[in-house]
Amino acid sequence: MKVNVQAPNFTVKESLIQFLEKRLQKLEQFYDKIVYADVFLKVQKTSEKQNKITEIILSVPGSDLICKKESKTFEAAIDECIQSLERQLKKRKQKQRAYA
């Protein structure tokens, strides 16, 4: 799977990119037809502590799966997104089995 990371207004540390890619690789256990993942990392300028936004768009045959989470750290937001996408992939796979 190809991973595209975009972070406007700041540079992403290599360790965060490796963390992200490692988590995304786990999704291939649940669904092996993932084409690519677009990841957007944003920092909102607010007084709130939960100002890190992670948005992941997974391209799979049929339609894209989208997840957007907000948290105190990018790692926490990435983990929440991965869990959500995991559930979406499992649902998709079950629907495909029902029609097959």
State how far the Cα of 71 lies from the Cα of 57, in Å rounded to an integer. Answer: 18
Q: What is the mean pLDDT of residues 6-24?
A: 93
Average pLDDT score over the chain? 92
DSSP conformation letters of 16-47: HHHHHHHHHHHHTTT-TT--EEEEEEEE--SS
pTM over 0.85: yes
At 56-84, the pLDDT tens digits run: 999 998 889 999 999 999 999 999 999 99
2-99 under CATH 3.30.160.100, yes or no: yes
Q: How far is CA 46 from the centre of its chain?
A: 23
Q: What is the mean pLDDT of residues 7-34?
A: 92
Tell me the domain boundaries of the chain: 2-99
State how far the Cα of 4 lies from the Cα of 42, in Å rounded to an integer. Answer: 14
